[in-house]
């Protein structure tokens, strides 16, 4: 849902007057892009398993995978949608080759290279000017969002039968903000962009800290109970 939501927001902020017809055209473009990805993946890439096995260890294979993502992302931009949706659908296209593990191994180094650059670029777009606006609102948003994620993670884990200790650890480990939050924040106006940017970066740092401290916190909350020693009775 996140790529589709981003695509809709990009279409809404394209600068044209928003009417029911315009919104319908945006949805039609999104549906058409999704159908195109499914058709291309099913008719073409479902038959390329042997090709992946033959060339997956060569550098040109990485270029091919990145090129497909850029091409379909560019098609989404051409339709005035978000390139994020296009890149996401490119992953669906490639998945039809039924070689998920080799594709993941090929893409992980590329992701590890560009993901920090993505967040660094977002940080450079935040112009503080007069400082951070609406600090009380920022604090409320941070407390509310982090508490909400911890509660959701805890009860979600409990729903699937995990122990209280593991559930608390799960809740503490999923408080970070992802790249879709950054993309949505980058579309805001200047003042809101500063607020949302500081919110995302702050929650990301707090989330990383909570993730690192989650084992210690859960151990402190749920200490191991000492097992009573069993003594042998003489003569048994």
Number of domains in the chain: 2
The tokens of 13 are what? 């902020």
Selection from 28, 176, 1, 190 nearest residue 84 by Cα: 1
Domain membership flag for residue 199 = yes
Domain C-terminal end among 92, 124, 156: 124
Stated pTM of the model:
0.60
Residue with tokens 């090129």: 67
Domain membership flag for residue 228 = no
pLDDT value for 161:
83
For residue 204, give every residue at least 6 positions away whose Cβ sits within 8 Å of its Cβ, in sequence order, or none.
176, 177
Domain membership flag for residue 213 = yes
Does residue 145 contact residue 203 with C-beta atoms inside 8 Å? yes
Q: Are residues 70 and 119 in the same domain?
A: yes
Domain membership flag for residue 129 = no
Report the C-alpha gap between 33 and 92 in whole angstroms.
12
pLDDT tens sequence across 94-140: 877 777 777 777 778 877 888 778 777 777 777 776 677 788 888 88
Report the C-alpha gap between 19 and 31 in whole angstroms.
18
């Amino acid at each position: 849902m996140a790529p589709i939501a981003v695509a809709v927001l990009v279409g809404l902020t394209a600068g044209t007057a928003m009417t029911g017809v315009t919104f319908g055209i945006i949805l039609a473009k999104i549906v058409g892009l999704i159908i195109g990805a499914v058709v291309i993946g099913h008719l073409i890439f479902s038959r390329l398993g042997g090709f992946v096995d033959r060339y997956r260890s060569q550098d040109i294979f990485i270029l091919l995978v990145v090129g497909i993502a850029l091409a379909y992302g560019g098609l989404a931009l051409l339709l005035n949608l978000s390139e994020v949706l296009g890149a996401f659908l490119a992953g669906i296209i490639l998945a039809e080759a039924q070689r998920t593990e080799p594709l993941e191994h090929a893409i992980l180094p590329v992701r590890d290279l560009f993901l920090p650059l993505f967040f660094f670029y977002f940080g450079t777009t935040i112009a503080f000017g007069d400082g951070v606006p609406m600090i009380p609102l920022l604090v409320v948003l941070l407390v509310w969002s982090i508490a909400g994620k911890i509660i959701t993670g805890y009860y979600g884990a409990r729903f699937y039968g995990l122990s209280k200790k593991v559930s608390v650890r799960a809740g503490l480990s999923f408080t970070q903000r992802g790249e879709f939050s950054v993309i949505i924040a980058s579309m805001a106006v200047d003042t809101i962009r500063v607020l949302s940017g500081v919110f995302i970066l702050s929650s990301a740092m707090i989330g990383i800290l909570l993730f690192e401290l989650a084992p210690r916190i859960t151990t402190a909350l749920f200490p191991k109970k000492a097992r009573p020693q069993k003594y042998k009775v003489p003569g048994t």
